[in-house]
Amino acid sequence: MKLIISAQNPSLESQVDRRFGRSPWLILFDTETSQWEAFQNPGASQSGGAGAAAAQFIIDKKADVVVSGNFGPNASRVFLAAKIGMQRFTASTTTVQETVDKFKYLK
């Protein structure tokens, strides 16, 4: 399964970013291979439509699930239409690695 997690920096040790559309980084993590890659969020610098731009990027990367703190209405609609799962961080989650570990445990 391919997860994308919103992050403040381009590493697994990064703090998660609770903003989806404006998070500086999106980390793609493959739960089957444990390989990961960091991408600058194309929506972060947009003056408007940040969530929709970031959501289209997620679709292009063929992610199965997106994990973030807050999804706006536009991004949510895009994900629902594309059948991409949305999960919210738990209050105690602080790093990308913790998010991956919790997701693996739940599945």
Closest to 91 (Cα-Cα) out of 4, 42, 39, 18: 18
Give the chain's radius of gyration (CA, Å).
Answer: 12
CA 71 remoteness from chain centre? 10
Q: Specify the 3-state DSSP secondary structure of 77.
A: helix
Task: List Cβ neighbours of 4 (8 Å cut-off, separation of 6 or more).
Answer: 26, 27, 28, 29, 58, 61, 63, 65, 66, 67
Which domains does the chain show, CATH number per domain?
Answer: 2-106 (3.30.420.130)
Average pLDDT, integer, range 7-35: 95
Task: State the chain's mean pLDDT as an integer.
Answer: 92
Write out pLDDT tens, residues 94-107: 899 999 988 776 65
